[in-house]
Amino acid sequence: MVLLRKWMARGLVALSVAGVAAGVSACGGSSGSSASSNHGQFIVADYGDANDSLEQYAIKTYNATPEGHKVKAVLEAWPGANYQLKLQTVMSTSKAPDVFYNWGSGSIEQFVEAGLVRPLNSSFSSNPALKSNFLSATMNAAKIGNSYYGIPMRGAQPVFLYYNKSLLAKYHMAPPATWQQLLSDVSTLKNAGLIPIALGGGDQWPSQMWLEYVYDRVAGPSLVSKALTGDTNVWSSAASKEALGDVKQLIQSGAFGNSYDSVKFTDSASTKLMVTGKAAFELMGSWEYSTVQGINPSFAKNDLGYVSFPSIPGGAGNSADLVGNAQNYYSVLKSTKYSQAITDFMKVMYSDGFQQQLLSKGWLPTTTNATQFFSKSPTPAYMSWQYGKVKAAPAFQESWDQAWPVTDYTPIHTAVGTFFDNTNEQQFISSMSQLSTK
């Protein structure tokens, strides 16, 4: 009897604990759902890296506004290397972030197809400035069908050819304007015992940049867009083979030295080659400037040169075309309860303060009024040069590994890496033909 009473008592305690817990969670739920009171908050998921102080700035700015006092924005920085993996895992769960960082197009396509992303067209009709303040090419890179899905944040990152000025001066060379000049520079530098072009082949995407540019110059931007929309035959076309032949010639001429497979950009080893004068060129995204600055600030100021990718005479592509990362975007979860607050948050992305933050980090804002802030950036010349290139570019090829769906990310890298290993065109063509199509 005593025992029974003891058990009953324990049971009651357990029940009441559970009750309290349920009550607490119910309270949490109710405060969350009443957006009009001052306790609502939405989660902003970000790519956690050295640049996420930008996002912290955006969040702080928004939270200081009257709207931000009503519904607060909360930043969640996910470690960069696992960002896409984590996003993929939580997007269809109740833990999905209200706003999430992405690369536009291929990176959000499957979320859009699954009906998880909110089209922003209606937000644009009530807040036209949200669209009109950004360059239209940038907005289009996050457009799927007739709907816009992303607001640009961070900046455009076109790829350019960077070089060591004093090394080129030493060998009396001008930065190459044509492919032929590049080849002749390569042979001069190679004969001098240098690595002509630094390449972080261990990361593969730096090798991919060479293919992207040569494909654009030789075949024009339409080849890749055709491949993306389902015409996989373009990979075995004559133009494609010609582009591969050019890259093959460059590799076999010893342009990248003979150990590029073991060199990475991600640990700065490839850039160090250029900064220390062991190599003359590196093809890299616009973040190269800050990478060089991290290695040797005075080199960045005095010795770092930059030019557009050389033209390939006779090719179908325009020598003003760019490749690279068009932009990063914020997209909105369809099921969010705070779409109005999020629209207010998005307005920060074209504010003067945010653009100045971008420029201070060496990023190029893609807003229509960006030029007026260049004078305040630490590198005004570099910024206005880049902006001019982006504005004048007839085509901006999104990096292949981001234009295709995420499931093709590794296959593309493997195809590129293998081509730089064995220069086997047929193998590359067949690997690229097996990628997903839309």
Partner 1 sequence: MAAITQAERGGSQQVSGRRRRRPHLRSHAQNIGHPGIIWALPATIYFAIFALLPLVVVVWLSFTEWGGIGSPHWVGGANWKALATDSIMRQSIWLMLLLTALSVVTQTLVALPLGVWAAGFQRNRAVLTALYFIPLLMSSAAIAIVWRALLDPNFGIPSQMHWLFGSGNLFGHAGDAIGVLTFVAMWQWTPLYTLIYQGGARAIPAQIYEAASIDGAGRVRQFFTITLPQLRNTIVTSLILMVIGGMTAFESILILTQGEPGYSTTTTAYYMYSKAFLRFQYGQGSVIAVVLVVVATAIGLLITKWTGYDKMASAQEGI
Contact residues for partner 1, defined by CB under 8 A: 85, 88-89, 91-92, 110-111, 114, 116, 195, 201-202, 257-263, 267, 269, 272-273, 278, 406-411, 414, 417-418, 421
Q: Judge whether 221 and 396 are in contact, CB under 8 Å.
A: no
How near is the Cβ of 261 to partner 1 at its closest, in Å?
A: 3
Distance from the first to the final alpha carbon of the chain: 72
How near is the Cβ of 89 to partner 1 at its closest, in Å?
A: 5
DSSP H stretches of helix in 229-363 = 238-252, 269-275, 288-295, 297-302, 339-346, 352-360
How many residues appear in the chain? 438
How near is the Cβ of 10 to partner 1 at its closest, in Å?
A: 20
Is the Cβ of residue 110 or residue 290 nearer to partner 1 in the bound state?
110
How near is the Cβ of 102 to partner 1 at its closest, in Å?
A: 14
Closest CA to 306 of 316, 295, 294, 292: 292
Q: How far is 437 from 148, CA to CA, in rounded Å?
A: 21
Is the Cβ of residue 89 or residue 368 nearer to partner 1 in the bound state?
89
Q: What is the dihedral of CA 352, 356, 359, 360, to 10 degrees?
A: -170
Q: Judge whether 287 and 122 are in contact, CB under 8 Å.
A: no
Chain Cα centroid distance, residue 225: 18
Q: Judge whether 396 and 139 are in contact, CB under 8 Å.
A: no
Give the pair of three-digit tokens for residue 277.
Answer: 């004068």
Q: Name 78's bridge partners.
A: 47
Query: In 3-state terms, what secondary structure has residue 47?
Result: strand
Sheet holding 71-79, edge to edge: 71-79, 40-48, 99-102, 328-332, 151-153
Give the pair of three-digit tokens for residue 127.
Answer: 């807040």
Q: Judge whether 438 and 230 are in contact, CB under 8 Å.
A: yes
How near is the Cβ of 79 to partner 1 at its closest, in Å?
A: 13
Is the Cβ of residue 98 or residue 203 nearer to partner 1 in the bound state?
203
Is the Cβ of residue 116 or residue 239 nearer to partner 1 in the bound state?
116
With tokens 């455009």, the residue in question is 156
How near is the Cβ of 92 to partner 1 at its closest, in Å?
A: 5
Is the Cβ of residue 97 or residue 317 nearer to partner 1 in the bound state?
97
How near is the Cβ of 346 to partner 1 at its closest, in Å?
A: 24
Is the Cβ of residue 241 or residue 272 nearer to partner 1 in the bound state?
272
How near is the Cβ of 238 to partner 1 at its closest, in Å?
A: 27
Q: Judge whether 265 and 271 are in contact, CB under 8 Å.
A: yes
Is the Cβ of residue 111 or residue 387 nearer to partner 1 in the bound state?
111
Is the Cβ of residue 196 or residue 201 nearer to partner 1 in the bound state?
201
